[in-house]
């Protein structure tokens, strides 16, 4: 199948937009690669320090053995990262068997958005992505690694690791996932209890019981939020081994895939014949493929922020118009919670990413001619990993969906588009995800209620103040204001209002979660209110129209734009929970439409 015209057009536009930055980037990583194995340039004293603790250090200055560095996001605060505790030992054994040496180069922080939702700590969440990139740079700064293994799964961790992999683009990069936890309490039942608690119909004991039954073991949360969207992305972009994303932790297949990932890392260094530097994998086509995967699966809106920052680290410049145009061309092929009742384990069993990649390739909606850690070409990612003893091998993947209530072919999708729209109007630019929103809510025109934080919204709800159709404006939530925390804790409150028959939408310069679901939410609005963007001039009673059909967001009240901007009070986010340490980040962060980044 020839490449779809929209895929080709968007790729060409990105290539043209990046016509200066991408060649300069490739020249930079080529210069780094030309120096050969980096450790050969270290002094004897440098090397003695670097290898003093290794049991098999040998003569690292002259050996042809590749030295693999592990950058790990392990902690046992995150269920998704807890399995990584034992990965270094597995990786060392696999590396030695493959004729390589292995060192843990360094660790990176990994916070849990599920713990910090609605709390002050969430204001560090987005910035943690840049901290992860910085910490990874420190880990790799020892200049002694021929390849890097990146162990990370969740929301900001993978994007931060990708920024590092792009920055150290001369080093091959293999991403090693840990997999989702087994299915627990169905996500729709958990969401129902959350709404019942928000409405005062059940007590905290029932809420806690439901939450603990849902999040119950090591592994990624099973809904299709940002963490699992990250895993999809790594497979579509060729940085995982085929089929690796959604294999459960602590299983023989999971360990065999980890071993295979180590073997692949050892094989693609500059010391061998299959050199595959990360910077060559991370090209325009790879990022387009990642965006296509995001649309086809109904993935997290957080990636609309992360992908531009990730791409910029590799000299590729993305814009939200790219997401919009690709979404219009790519069918929604999956229904995974919050876009459906299934979780990622059900999705994987129905044929998963391998089936989707095959379908999208056949439809001309993916670039097939890409470089991946698995070799050249994306068609290898249609295969399914299987165990043969304790080794993994790949067999042809599913050609037909095994459950068409979860996964459908590109020719008969759940929806003809990916459901992500760019919004542009007199209130600024942003995005809205409508794949789980009822069609009658794709256009909402109503009076505004204006708030400066999500707690004010909850207080107004408890006071019974929402009695008519309403546009809930939550401003001063952008990256420069308070680090752009997710406003996911508003979802149950606003969902209750929808269930009462009101037409309600959220407008914010902040973020929602990958699990934002059925509430129409115009998010990432830029310029943000803290920079005197249009939202700073909105008042209670102004009529706002959020139109996901035509891609517009406008205030319809005459004369609103001539008002003085509402003053921004930074004191609420200036200190506590480490926020004082991030003042420089808030002062220098870029706009959300360009990735809300500090380091790229």
**Cα 163 from chain centroid (whole Å):** 12
DSSP 173: E
Do residues 573 and 477 touch, judged by C-beta distance below 8 A? Answer: no
112 belongs to an annotated ligand binding site: no
What are the structure tokens assigned to 588, written together? Answer: 């220098």
- SS in 3 state form for 484-535? CCECHHHHHHHHHHHHCCCCEEEEECCECCCCCCCCCEEEEEECCHHHCCHH
Of 90, 218, 231, whose CA–CA distance to 153 is shortest? 231
Q: Which phi and psi (to 5°) does residue 244 adopt?
A: -80, -20
44 belongs to an annotated ligand binding site: no
Q: Name, in order, each residue with C-beta under 8 angstroms of 346's C-beta and a sequence gap of 6 or more.
A: 183, 336, 403, 406
Q: How far apart are CA 179 and CA 182, in angstroms?
A: 9
Burial of 209 (0-12, 13-18, 19+ CB in 10 A): middle
Q: If DSSP codes are grouped into helix, strand and coil, which group holds residue 14? A: helix
| Alpha helices per DSSP H over 237-274 | 252-267
Q: How far apart are CA 1 and CA 368, in angstroms?
A: 10
Q: If DSSP codes are grouped into helix, strand and coil, which group holds residue 481? A: helix
Q: Name, in order, each residue with C-beta under 8 angstroms of 76's C-beta and a sequence gap of 6 or more.
A: 82, 85
Q: Please, what is the end-to-end C-alpha distance for the chain in angstroms?
A: 37
CA atoms within 13 A on the CB side of 299: 29
Of 464, 484, 482, 458, whose CA–CA distance to 572 is shortest? 482
What are the structure tokens assigned to 304, written together? Answer: 């609309």
| Alpha helices per DSSP H over 18-156 | 21-34, 44-51, 87-97, 113-116, 125-140
In total, the chain counts a number of residues equal to: 600
Q: Which phi and psi (to 5°) does residue 428 adopt?
A: 120, -160
Residues at the binding site are 154, 221
Residues belonging to the binding site for [4Fe-4S] cluster are 154, 221
């Amino acid at each position: 199948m020839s490449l779809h015209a929209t895929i080709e057009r968007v790729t060409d536009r990105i290539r043209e937009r990046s016509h200066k930055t991408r060649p300069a980037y490739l020249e930079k990583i080529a210069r780094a690669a030309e120096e050969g194995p980096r450790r050969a340039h270290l002094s004897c004293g440098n090397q003695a320090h670097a290898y003093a603790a290794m049991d098999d250090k040998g003569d690292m200055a002259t050996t042809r053995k590749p030295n693999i560095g592990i950058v790990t996001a392990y902690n046992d605060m995150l269920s998704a990262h807890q399995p990584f505790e034992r990965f270094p030992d597995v990786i060392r054994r696999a590396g030695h068997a493959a004729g390589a040496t292995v060192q843990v180069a360094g660790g990176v922080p990994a916070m849990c958005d599920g713990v910090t939702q609605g709390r002050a700590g969430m204001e560090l969440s987005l910035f943690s992505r840049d901290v992860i990139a910085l910490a990874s740079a420190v880990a790799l700064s020892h200049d002694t690694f021929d390849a890097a293994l990146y162990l990370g799964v969740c929301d900001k961790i993978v994007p931060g690791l990708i920024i590092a992999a792009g920055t150290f683009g001369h080093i091959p990069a293999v991403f090693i996932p840990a997999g989702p936890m087994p299915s627990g309490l169905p996500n729709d039942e958990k969401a129902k209890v959350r709404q019942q608690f928000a409405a005062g119909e059940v007590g905290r004991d029932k809420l806690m019981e439901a939450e603990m039954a849902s999040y119950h073991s090591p592994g990624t949360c099973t809904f299709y939020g940002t963490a699992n969207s990250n895993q999809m992305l790594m497979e579509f972009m060729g940085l995982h081994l085929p089929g690796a994303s959604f294999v459960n932790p602590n299983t023989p297949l999971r360990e065999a895939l980890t071993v295979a990932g180590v073997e692949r890392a050892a094989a693609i260094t500059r010391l061998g014949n299959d050199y595959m530097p990360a910077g060559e994998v991370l090209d325009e086509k790879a990022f387009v493929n990642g965006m296509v995967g995001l649309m086809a699966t109904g993935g997290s809106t957080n990636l609309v922020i992360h992908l531009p920052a990730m791409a910029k680290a590799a000299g590729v410049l993305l814009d939200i118009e790219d997401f919009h145009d690709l979404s219009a061309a790519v069918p929604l092929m999956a229904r995974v919670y919050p876009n459906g009742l299934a979780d990622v384990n059900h999705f994987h069993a129905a044929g998963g990413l391998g089936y989707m990649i095959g379908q999208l390739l056949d439809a001309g909606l993916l670039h097939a001619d890409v470089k991946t850690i698995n070799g050249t070409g994306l068609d290898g990612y249609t295969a399914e990993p299987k165990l043969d003893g304790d080794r993994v091998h790949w067999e042809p993947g599913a050609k037909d969906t095994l459950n068409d209530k979860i996964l459908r072919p590109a020719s008969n999708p759940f929806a003809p588009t990916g459901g992500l729209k760019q919004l542009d109007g007199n209130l600024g630019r942003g995005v809205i995800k409508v794949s789980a929103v009822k069609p009658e809510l794709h256009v909402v025109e109503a009076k505004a209620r204006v708030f400066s934080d999500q707690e004010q919204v909850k207080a107004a709800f408890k006071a019974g103040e929402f009695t008519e159709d309403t546009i809930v404006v939550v401003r001063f939530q952008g990256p420069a204001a308070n680090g752009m925390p997710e406003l996911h804790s508003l979802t149950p409150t606003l969902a209750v209002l929808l269930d009462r028959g009101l037409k309600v939408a959220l407008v914010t310069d902040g973020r929602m979660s990958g699990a934002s679901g059925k509430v129409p939410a115009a998010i990432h609005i830029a310029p943000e209110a803290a920079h005197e963007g249009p939202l700073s001039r909105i008042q209670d009673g102004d009529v706002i129209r959020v139109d996901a059909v035509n891609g517009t967001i406008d205030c319809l009240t005459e004369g609103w734009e001539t008002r003085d901007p509402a003053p921004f009070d930074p004191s609420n986010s200036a200190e506590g929970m480490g926020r004082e340490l991030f003042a420089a980040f808030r002062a220098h962060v870029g706009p959300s439409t360009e990735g809300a980044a500090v380091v790229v």
